[in-house]
Amino acid sequence: MANIQKKTHEPLFHIAKRDSIPTLKAWLIRAAAIVIALIVCGLLTMLLTGENPINVYASMIEGAIGTERRVWRLLQDLAILLCISLAVTPAFKMKFWNIGAEGQVLIGGLAAAACSMFLTDSLPTAVLIPVMFIASVLAGAIWAVIPAFFKAHWNTNETPFTLMMNYIAIQLVSYYCFVYSVPKGSGKIPLLPKASWLPTIGNNDYILNIIIVAVITFGMYIYLKYNKHGYEISVVGESENTAKYIGINVKKVIIRTLILSGAICGIAGLLLVNGTNHTIASNTVDGRGFTAIMVSWLAKFNPITMILTAFIIVFLEKGAGEISTMFGLNSSFSEIITGIIIFFIIGCEFFINYKLVFRSKKEANSK
């Protein structure tokens, strides 16, 4: 009975859940979200600064990939962020909310830094590098396995636990930097001895990090999708009861997965300290332990998609940073821009899962 007069108090639209959506359409929605985000950012920049938004975006791209050096720097940052994202992925897939990547990376970096400061004189580089590698992996793994052990055996809540472990790691590094600072009391440690830096391939300082992370990405993809451990992680994450029902040892899986997660964080720490910064400070990780969580979620825990999401985030950060220097704005402005864009990227997931049914459209359907 479509001819009955519709009353005005009928809602303008209502929300309906989508059953499933073709992958292409989902990606179109995501692309549209980024475009809209860029328009909003452009308008905002124009209103606040009076600059032409085209110029603003041009300098954004310029800032991210304008020169060869910048491209390499971008890839390097991408590699580190991706590495940490990969590290948190198995834990998150298991629904173990490991927000302690920041601390796990930092403690891995501290282990590497300590090795280079105290062992460089006594060990040849060929021995030192593997020793450093083992030390960072162990340090990261230990930092992650402590909350995992408590979770597995006494069901403690991992979220505050891993968060607190971050502060302990940060304070340990601060203390270390203070004790070994040069000049004494400055709180800064000098550059690590050159013999302990990770080797360079050819003359390129960046390529080793990138290769290592590429291998980890591929390995993680295989591990999660085709390995029996990866399968167990999915089952435990989806339903602990099902896992118990088919006889998976849930405690063992939790501990094993967090060892892996922490170990990769440790590698990230090594890459960051001995492969990139060549020194350590309490802010070396710079929030990437948290950004990584977002990268991992946005990619729906798929390591290959993660390359793209990590790229978007790093690109935005670099570009936004350039805007603020170019136009004489302070760094908060670049954070505003990044914030807006990420808001749109995350917000568009709503439109992928739900659709709005409008009043007029609905009537057309009912005829």
Partner 1 sequence: MSKQAAIELKNITKSFGKVVANKDVCLTVYKGEILSVLGENGSGKTTLMNMISGIYYPDSGHIYIDGKEAVIKSPKDAFDYKIGMIHQHFKLVDVFSAVENILIGLKDDNRYNIKASSEKVKKICEQYGFELDLSKKIYEMSVSEKQTVEIIKVLYRGADILILDEPTAVLTPQETEKLFAVLRRMRDDGKAIIIITHKLNEVMALSDKVAVLRKGEYVGTVNTSETDENKLTEMMVGEKISLNITRTEPKDPVKRLEIKNISCINREGVTVLKDISFEVKSGEIYGIAGIAGSGQRELLESIAGLQKLNSGEILYHNPQTNKTENLRDKTPVQIRDLGVRLSFVPEDRLGMGLVGNMDIVDNIMLRSYKKGKSVFLERKQPKDLANKIIEDLGVVTPGANTPIRRLSGGNVQKVLVGREIASSPTVLMAAYPVRGLDINSSYLIYNLLNEQKEKGVAVIFVGEDLDVLLELCDRIMVISSGEISGVLDARTATKEEIGLLMTKHGGGDK
Judge whether 107 and 269 are in contact, CB under 8 Å. Answer: yes
Query: 149 phi and psi, to 5 degrees?
Result: -65, -45
The three-point CA angle 141-143-144 to 5° equals 65
Residues that bind partner 1 (CB under 8 A): 1, 4, 7, 9-11, 14, 16-20, 226-229, 231, 234-235, 238-239, 241-242, 244-247, 249, 357, 362-363, 365-366
Cβ partners under 8 Å of residue 156, min gap 6 = 147, 150
Nearer residue to partner 1 within complex by CB, 18 or 153: 18
By beta-carbon proximity to partner 1, the closer residue of 232 and 322 is 232
| Sequence-distant (≥ 6) Cβ neighbours of residue 295 within 8 angstroms | 81, 82, 85, 306, 309, 310, 313
CB 258 within 8 A of CB 96: yes
Cis (ω within 30 of 0) for the bond into 183? yes
Q: What is the DSSP code (8-state) at residue 10?
A: S
DSSP per-residue string spanning 171-216: HHHHHHHHHT-SSTTSS-PPPPPGGGSPPPBTTBSSHHHHHHHHHH
User: How far is it, in rounded angstroms, from Cα 309 to Cα 72?
Assistant: 18
In the complex, what is the shortest distance from the CB of residue 7 to partner 1, in angstroms, rounded to a whole number? 6
CB of 312 to partner 1, least distance (A): 25
Nearer to partner 1, 19 or 68 (CB): 19
Decide if 266 contacts 110 (C-beta within 8 A).
Answer: no
Nearest approach, Cβ of residue 248 and partner 1 (Å) = 9
The least distance separating partner 1 from the CB of residue 352, rounded to whole angstroms, comes to 13
Q: What is the DSSP code (8-state) at residue 328? A: T
CA-wise closest residue to 339 among 294, 293, 301 = 294
Cβ proximity to partner 1: between 5 and 330 the closer is 5
Cβ of residue 90: shortest distance to partner 1, in angstroms?
Answer: 15
Of 8 and 203, nearer to partner 1 (C-beta) is: 8
Residue positions counted in the chain: 367
Taking the complex as a whole, the smallest distance from the CB of residue 155 to partner 1 amounts, in Å, to: 11
Nearer CB in complex with partner 1: 3/330: 3
Which phi and psi angles does 15 have, rounded to 5°?
Answer: -100, 130
As measured in angstroms, the least distance from the Cβ of 243 to partner 1 is 9
Alpha helices, DSSP H only, in 66-124? Answer: 68-93, 101-119
* Measured CA distances, 217 to 103, 209, 221 (Å): 21, 12, 6
Nearer to partner 1, 153 or 194 (CB): 153
In this complex, which beta carbon is closest to partner 1, that of residue 9 or of residue 184?
Answer: 9
CB atoms closer than 10 angstroms to residue 56: 23
Output the smallest distance, CB 325 to partner 1, in A.
Answer: 45
Residue 247 CB, nearest approach to partner 1 (Å): 4
Task: Write down the least CB distance from residue 10 to partner 1, Å.
Answer: 6
CB atoms within 10 A of CB 280: 27
